[in-house]
Every structure is written in structure tokens, then in C-alpha cells.
Amino acid sequence: MSQFEIRAKDGLARLGRFETNHGTVTTPLLMPVVHPGKSEVTPSQLVSEFKFQMVITNAYIIKSTDRFRDAALDKGVHSLLNFSGPIMTDSGTFQMYTHGLPEGEIDPMDIVSFQRQIGSDVGTILDTFSDPYATWARVEQDVQVSTERARISIPVKGDMLLAGTVQGGIYPDLRIRAADEMAPLNIDVHPIGGLVPLMEQYRYADIVRATLAAKSHLPPQRPVHLFGCGHPMFFAQAVLMGCDLFDSASYAKFAESGRLLFPTGTVHLSDLRELPCECPACNSTTIDDLQRLDKAAQSLILTKHNLYVSAAEIRRVRQAIADGNLLELAALRARSHPALYEALDIFLEQIGNIESSAPSANAKSVFYTGPETARHPLLRTFQYRILERYPFRRTRMLVMVPDMGAKPFSETNQAIENEVKMRDPAEMLLFYVTPIGVVPWELEHVYPAQQTIFPASVDSECLTAAGESLTRLLSTMEFDDCMWVSRETPTNVLSAATGLSDRATKVSGVSELSQILPAASHPQLWQKRVIAGVCAFQWDVRDMDSFGLNELGITLSSSTGKIRHITRNGKVLFTLVPTNGLLTPTYDGGRLLLKSGLKDDYKVVVDDDAAPFVADGKSVMTKFVKWAGPHLMAGEEVLVVDSKGEFLGSGKAVLNGREMMAFRRGVAVIMRHSKKQPPVDYKEDDQESF
């Protein structure tokens, strides 16, 4: 069984660790393809100079060449390549396809056995490559053959990790079938095969459809390898789809034909007047000197350039996952070619059906990159939760304020906020109409309401999406009167787009609204309606009587005026995190959530053997998770209990519920507060109690 674990997530993208017999590597990673007899750059150079972690070579070429075969069988493939790190071997499937080799040229079981004998860390089954233009019936046969070959290969793999390739051509239903048939087998890695011709034809949209279809049906604890994905312009999108491993011979092939790889595309050396690159290979020469070199010397420099650029882009992708802005990077790369942008469009169209991270998974800003921002998974999840969970649906007065969110809402709407703070929700509700959709006043500080950065003008797709969000929410609301505060901002047009023109009274600005609003009949403590809104949004807790809201104390920061703590009897129950506007429970706060009827979706059950360690504050490891909510998202604040339901503590989910149940390695929940830790005392510092 492969030793794979996830350290961080950004949507479907995973920052992980993959353990092999020759070392542990960080994913996503790119494996340069190494020919055993003719590599301009040696495998050891790939590590020392270019910082690659793992390579891939071809077992068929080794086995069919006497001197390579004898050396590999005698001392192993690592000795053959003079490489001490992890090595993956391919079986020869692509060679059979490209060279038209006869069906019996390679024996499926023999080639897997050979890979084990030469000490490959990850061997590959001999699958059947499907031509992109093959009929559905022919591809179905290829899937059946590939699955059967995977099944018969498992008994001969020994302790070698085995890659079971998912075929299916351009047919998503066959990709799903192949993934479903591979899933129960004792496979360690899942390559998505048959994509090289699609890469060469810039059919990235077909690659996205095929990959997402397979990915959604593969076991989450196994790394996914996108076979033949070697161009840096596609790395960000491929990782965005949840792919973990890549291989590339492009760095050498493109160099041989005088082409330079960049994250923004391919450039022919003959078309350049300057070297637009800061890599060591390009910095060591000039365009004139490079063009005067003989072909071999020129090819070596271009090869090194391609390696430097590819390695840097993979590192850039890994950093983007850690920063939570991989989609923004992929969107920038998609501008490089219309086919890439089409592929991104397909991804965003389909991502809604696949689990992602929660809006609270990170608190980094979401930057507008174009029309695709309207379909950012974090923004869509945010709007979905508002639609499903916003607790206040009936009011006498609904006030709608268009806002671009360029500054905190309160900075430009203080007079309106002062009015709503004095009123019960049944008397008045305030909605901000923004480019990301509707933001109720109670949730104005919840990520990503004010962390999404838009330009002064917004494209029509974003406005349309925002209008649809407003229309859906309004269809669930009951109100007697509606006030629309007209302002010089792009979202002001949504008054007409949502049919509010005939129902809403338009007022020209905040000052006019303040003059016509009736006096508050029953002044309320605004902090409590904010807490009610956040609890509903975050945990779907709506029974505020069980929550005991009226008996709780609320403290504010004297410097910002925002809610800081929820307390009871001098003990902190919850802290409202300034960076994301959500609540983190202490141990006592977790007990209150359980008493309030918290749904199972936000609970993680651990094995009783691990319970004492979790109660001491140790992280919950995946191998001790007995059950996790199937709809739990990575990034959620969760409660951890033992098999009897005894509460052990609260923490932040690193994985989603499905992943917690599937992985046997890595952290599932980082504990914040636990049973045996002392309670958090409220200290009078810069806080004011209400």
C-alpha cells in the first residue's frame, strides 16, 4: 500500500508527501523522463542542479536492450541510471501505440515482474492505449483489457508500488467505469492514460473532462498521475483538478527542435531577439551566441532552460496551494492560449459536483482575474451556505445596499449599520449587493465577503452571477417594504435585473435613507444577531434557545469594535477570528455546540485507543478515524468524540470527511482545545463586555 498523505489543500489540489523505498517526495511533483542510454542531463544533475525529486524511465526499453537489461537485473535500475532517489518505470504501453508493435510484443505479467526485479519504486501495468479517434465500443474493449491486466498484475508486484492506469479515451462515462473497476484493486497510484495525443492537439478541454470523470471515482488516498503532462503552461490547471504526479519528456524533445518552454507557452529560438528568461541557462549566454552554437550545444542549453522553467513552475504551483490561490494562478496561465481558457471554463462548470474546501479553509484574499472569478468554488460555496442557512427570512423592512467591497462595508455605510444595529431582524434586515452576490449584514466579516478584491468595473458575467444570487435569496424572503439605496457602483444595475424595480423604494444615498427610516421600536444587542447568523452559516446551528445565546457574554475589541469572545461565567467559549469572521470553539464551547444539537457533519469519531492522546491535545491521525461526516469539508471547525460519543475536543479539519475515512496516514484534524487542557479564562485587557 502506498504511503501517501495530504499536508494542505486548495480545492481539489493537494500538497502531499509520497513515501517510496528510495525516499519521500513532496507532491505535486514532476518526473523528468530519463532514457537509460542517451540523456544530455544526467539523473544526478536533475537533483543537484534542477532540484527534481524523482524520475521516470521506460522498462520496455531497458528490457529490450541487452546491455541495459543485464545491468538492471544485475545491480538494479538505480545503479543503471546512477540515481539514488525514487524511480518510476513505464511498461511500454505508449511505445506499443506509437510504433504499432504487435499485441504479443510485451507480456503484461512479465513486464510487471521485470519492473519489480530491477527494483523500480513504482511500476506500471501494461494497459491498452486508446486512440483519441477510436469509437466508444473500441475504447470500452480497451478499458476491459486494461482492468484485467491490472488485476492479474497485482499478485506479481511484490513490495513494488503499482500504478494502475485509467483509460477511457475521450468518453467520460468510460473513464468513470475504468476508475470504478480500478478502485477496489490493490493499486497504489492511478495514472490517467491516453492523453498525449490530446496534449499535442491542445485538446485541454477533453483532458479536463476525462480527468475529472476519473478523479471523482478514484480512491482519494491514492496519488493521481497525469501521464504525459509535460508543458509548464498546463501544470496549474492539472493540479487544480487534483493531479499529484506528472512526467515529461518535453524538456528534451522541444529542445531538440529549437523550442523553449515557458509557463505562458512555447517559443521558437529563431523567433527571439532577446532571451526573456532569468534562469541560469539563459543568463549564461546571449541570444546571438546561442543562435551561433552548433545544434548539440544549443540543444543542451535549451534542455537546461526547459528543465529550470518546468521545475520552477511546479514549485510555484506548490506554493500557490499553500497560499490558497491556485485558481488565480491557473486563470493567469489560461490566458496563454484559448484552449487553456476553454479547459478552465469546463473545470469551473464541473467543479460544483465535486467536494472542495470550505470558505474558511484559508483567509487569503481572492483576487479578481476575469469572468471566471464569478464561479470561484469558494465564492459559490459562500453563496450556497447563505441561501441554505441564513436564519432570518421574515422582516418588515429589507434594505439593499450596492457595494463593491473595495473597503470594509462599515467605512462607507456607517449610518445604515448604526440603524440596523438598533433593530431586531424581524424589524429590519440589511443586504449588501456585491460582485460576489448577496452579503447579509450579519455575515459582512465572514470570509470571503470582504477579502475578494475586484476592480472598479466588473464584467457582465460577474454581474449576472451576482444578480442570480440575489434573485435566489429574495425568493426565500418575506418582507413588507424594501429600500434600494442607489449608489454610483456597478452592482447598482442589479435592482432592475432582479425585478426589484417595481417593489423597492429607491433612495439616493445613505443620508436620505437615514432620514426616512422609522425609529427603532425595540433596540437590540446587535452582537447576538451576528452570533446567530455566524452559527447558522458555519455549523447550521439555528436553535439559539438551545444555544443559550441570551445567557452568554459577548466582548468586543476596543480598538476595532468587532466581536472578540463569547464567554460564560468568566470562561471563553468561542473566539471570533478576525481574519475570517468565523468562530473557533474552546472545549467548553464545543460542549455547548453538542448540547445545541450540532449535526453529525461536523463531528469526527476516533478509535478509543487514540482517545486519550486526542484528549491531551494531540492531532487526530487518519488511521484512528472511525467515522467522519461525509459532507465535512477541509478547513471546517469540528468536534472530536470517541466511539461512545464522549467529547474529546475541538479542532480544524485538514481533510474532508471522505478523505479522513480513506487515508491511513497523515493528520485528519489539528486539535485546538481538548478535554485535559485547562479552560480558557477571559482576561480584561482591551475588551469591553456586553
Q: Which residues contact 387 (CB under 8 A, 6 or more apart)?
A: 469, 472, 473, 476
Measured between alpha carbons, how far is residue 336 from residues 49, 202, 319, 342, 344 in Å? Answer: 28, 12, 21, 11, 12
389/401 Cα distance (integer angstroms): 21
435/465 Cα distance (integer angstroms): 8
Measured between alpha carbons, how far is residue 228 from residues 30, 213, 223, 233, 246 in Å? Answer: 10, 18, 16, 13, 7
Cis, peptide link before residue 280, omega less than 30° from 0:
no
For residue 259, the cross-strand partners are 268
Radius of gyration for the chain, computed over Cα atoms and rounded to the nearest angstrom: 29
Q: Which residues contact 52 (CB under 8 A, 6 or more apart)?
A: 29, 30, 31, 32, 46, 307, 311
Contact 687, 565 (CB under 8 A): yes
Cα angle 306-310-314, degrees, rounded to a multiple of 5:
175
Helix (H) or strand (E) holding 233: none
Cell of 253: 524533445
Q: How many CA atoms lie within 13 A of 641 on its CB side?
A: 18
* Contacts within 8 Å (CB) and 24+ apart, 486-492: 486/402, 487/401, 487/402, 487/403, 489/402, 489/403, 489/404, 490/402, 490/404, 490/435, 490/456, 490/457, 490/458, 490/463, 491/402, 491/403, 491/404, 491/433, 491/434, 491/435, 491/458, 491/463, 491/466, 492/402
Residue of 417, 354, 110, 100 whose CA lies nearest to 209: 354
Contact 362, 635 (CB under 8 A): yes
473/494 Cα distance (integer angstroms): 14
566/554 Cα distance (integer angstroms): 5
Catalytic residue (choose from 10, 74, 90, 206): 90
Specify whether the backbone of 202 is left (phi greater than 0), alpha (psi in -120 to 50) or beta. left
- The distance in angstroms from the start CA to the end CA of the chain is 56
Do the strands 637-641 and 603-606 form a parallel or antiparallel pair, or are they unpaired? parallel
Helix (H, G, I), strand (E, B) or coil at 126: coil
90 is catalytic: yes
Residue 99 amino acid letter: H
Helix intervals (H) in 154-294 = 172-182, 196-200, 204-215, 235-240, 250-256, 280-283, 287-292
Active site residues: 90
